[in-house]
Structure 1
Amino acid sequence: METGSREKLLEILKKFRNAMLVTQANHGMLRARPMALMKVDDATGDIWFMTSIDSGKIDEIESNPEVNVTLQEARRFLSLSGRASIVRSRAKIEELWSEEAKVYFPKGKDDPHLALIHVSPREGEYWDNDGAAGLKFLVEAVKAYVSGTTPKTDASQHGTVPLNGGAPSDRMTSAR
């Protein structure tokens, strides 16, 4: 059920540089790892991360591609639920490469262990209490406190939004 604005969710998403990628380990436990956002697709909200093919998250994604990506800065929060796939396309790695990635991949974009994680979110939820929205929430919180009720929010502050219907391939693509 849509309670927020897709445009608002994508606007907030584009402000983040880092996220926590949550996968499910083989024994059923959830694992969260900090990841740098390499790209956010302006239209779909698809997210790209770089990783080592030797990382434990690769096996976890291949076993269960359902993931969650959480993002938080100051008074903005975002949660995306969707499917992840592993991409080894040299052309896509070339497109997304940045010198900042050299910290983790000193051999550069041609490192044979370098892979991408593509997350195609199906649903997102945001909480934005920054700027004017934050002041609005503060006023509502004070009213709620005084009256013994719950603060009211609107789509500029909080919403749940359906995103992509499709999902990326569950198979690892070969290096090209």
Structure 2
Amino acid sequence: MNQNNEHPTREEAIKTLSHLIKDVKFAMLTVTTDQGHLKAHPMTTQQTEFDGDVWFIGGKDTEQVQCMRARPQVNVSYADPGKNNYVSVSGTAQLVEDRAKLEELWSDFYKAYFPQGIDDPSIQLIKISAQGAEYWEGSGKMKALFQMARAAVTGKPATDMGNNDTINL
């Protein structure tokens, strides 16, 4: 819950999450395996504005995509340790065929994974519809270090380490 004890509107929540994840290059996408284990994979963050959906490009034949097909509940986590910002998004994965969206998201970076380029038949668009999120927004690295040092010296807990909120989308 935020410090004002108020719940943000959906638009405010989306704006906050968009701000926190916009410059994070990689996310960890967690799926549930056939054995019921959680398994995370690094994914390239798309350079699109977060609007409640998160998009990735994956491979149709990967274990990750097969797990999402069978069990679409996933988690996407972002970390920006330089700013002390962390985001965890829970949502539902959809495996999408949409050439226009693929063209919007495609960059030559993906040729390393799909040698045939944008026409590679193994490309799979992944759309994560966010249902909720939790974030930790740091108050700045120097302030956080000061708070931790003061807590270590005084034996009292740090009091201002930033904001933490859980939001429904």
Identity across matched positions, percent = 32
Aligned to 2:165: 160
Q: Which has the higher contact order (CA 8 A, sep 6+)?
A: 1
Residue in 1 aligned with 2:35?
27
1:111 corresponds in structure 2 to: 120
1:163 Cα deviation after fit: 4.6
In the alignment, which residue of structure 2 is the partner of 1:145? 152
Kept after mapping to 2: 8 A contact 1:39/1:49: no
- Please name the residue that 1:61 is paired with: 68
| 2:2 equivalent in structure 1 | 3
**Residue 124 of structure 1 pairs with residue 148 of structure 2:** no
* Residue pair 1:51, 1:115 contacting (<8 A) in 2 also: yes
Contact persistence 1:22–1:32 (CA under 8 A): yes
User: Aligned partners of 2:164 and 2:2: how far apart in 1?
Assistant: 5
**Structure 1 equivalent of residue 21 of structure 2:** 13
1:41 paired to 2:49: yes
Segments of 5+ residues of structure 2 without an aligned counterpart are none
Contact residue 88 and residue 114 of structure 1 kept, 8 A: no
TM-score (norm 2): 0.81
* Structure 1 runs not aligned, ≥5 long: 165-176
Matching residue's letter, 2:35: H
